[in-house]
Amino acid sequence: MLSATINRYVHGSLEPREDDIVRVESGDLGISVDFADDKSLTFDGRLDLFKAAIRKLGRGGYDIFLRSEAPPGSGLGSSSAVMVALIGLLKDYHRLALDDYEIAHMAWQLEREELGIRGGLQDQYAAAFGGFNFIEMGADQVVVNPLRIKPDVVHELEHNMLLAFTGRTRSGDHIIEDQSARLAEHDSEALAGLRMQKELAVSMKNALLSGKLNEFGALLGHAWEYKQKMSPKISTPYIAEAYSAAIGAGALGGKVTGAGGGGFMLFYCPFRKKHRVAAELEKLGISITEFGFTHHGLRTWTAHG
């Protein structure tokens, strides 16, 4: 699959304490909780990402604070970025030697296996590594291939791409469950959609490497068409209306980020038409946000104040 990271970050800090209390605070949820012992780390739907990371990497006495620049269910991989950030903080605190592959795999393991959160594994690897990557996922191995996209191509992508928030998240829509069930039942539409997703990812990678951005924009639209075949829950009448309006105003192609059902939509537009696309989407109550690409994944450091 093809992956790129943008400048929407999860920020965190860890400060050692003189006692054995673990205090965690979520700036997004406005929640602060103290954990005095392992019994208080039971998964109950309240700060479970924090609990899973602490249970895996070990307790101690410290305060952890985290906040994210993307809301849960937005399709921007925010929960995986939170988990990667937590592992990064605790790795440094416990002085563990973990590389990016090990951090990404641990984040996937904690989210998908420990917590039972449905989804793939691309978000964890994207957050850990950062940048433009072509990620190959085998039965027992993941290989992250960094892509050397020319700076002018990156600038043109930023110039022409439009990120739009529908204001609706996909929480509770069971999109991934429905998609997985259809693949398990060998649904022909879902399987065709999955196969084409893989083929189009290669074509999109080649278009980026060769700087053929109009072709990339059109392929983005084709990928969205085939993604919808994987589950009827991926799109909604509202999303379909917004997509049609964007294409009518001049966008060459686009998609819903993440699993679908809501969150953010991403479009590629010729720059001279980008403002028209934005105006049509805003008429539908969709907010437009500026963004840039970043080549950095997980970054941690130690400071002494």
User: Which of the residues are catalytic?
Assistant: 123
Identify whether the C-beta of residue 46 lies closer than 8 Å to the C-beta of residue 40: no
Residue 124: phi and psi, rounded to 5, are -65, -40
Sheet holding 10-16, edge to edge: 10-16, 62-68, 22-26, 31-35
Identify whether the C-beta of residue 59 lies closer than 8 Å to the C-beta of residue 22: yes
Helical spans, DSSP H, in 164-296? 175-184, 188-209, 213-227, 237-248, 271-283
> What is the number of H-type helices and E-type strands within the chain?
10, 11
Tokens representing 186?
């060998």
- How many degrees, rounded to 5, is the angle at CA 135 between CA 134 and CA 138? 145
Tokens representing 148?
């050397």
Amino acid occupying residue 241: E
Tokens representing 199?
């083929």
Cα separations in angstroms, 160 against 103, 131, 154: 33, 18, 10
| Contacts of 66 by beta carbon, 8 Å cutoff, 6+ apart | 10, 11, 12, 24, 25, 26, 27, 28, 50, 82, 85, 86
Cα separations in angstroms, 16 against 19, 22, 39, 247, 303: 9, 9, 21, 52, 12
| Contacts of 275 by beta carbon, 8 Å cutoff, 6+ apart | none
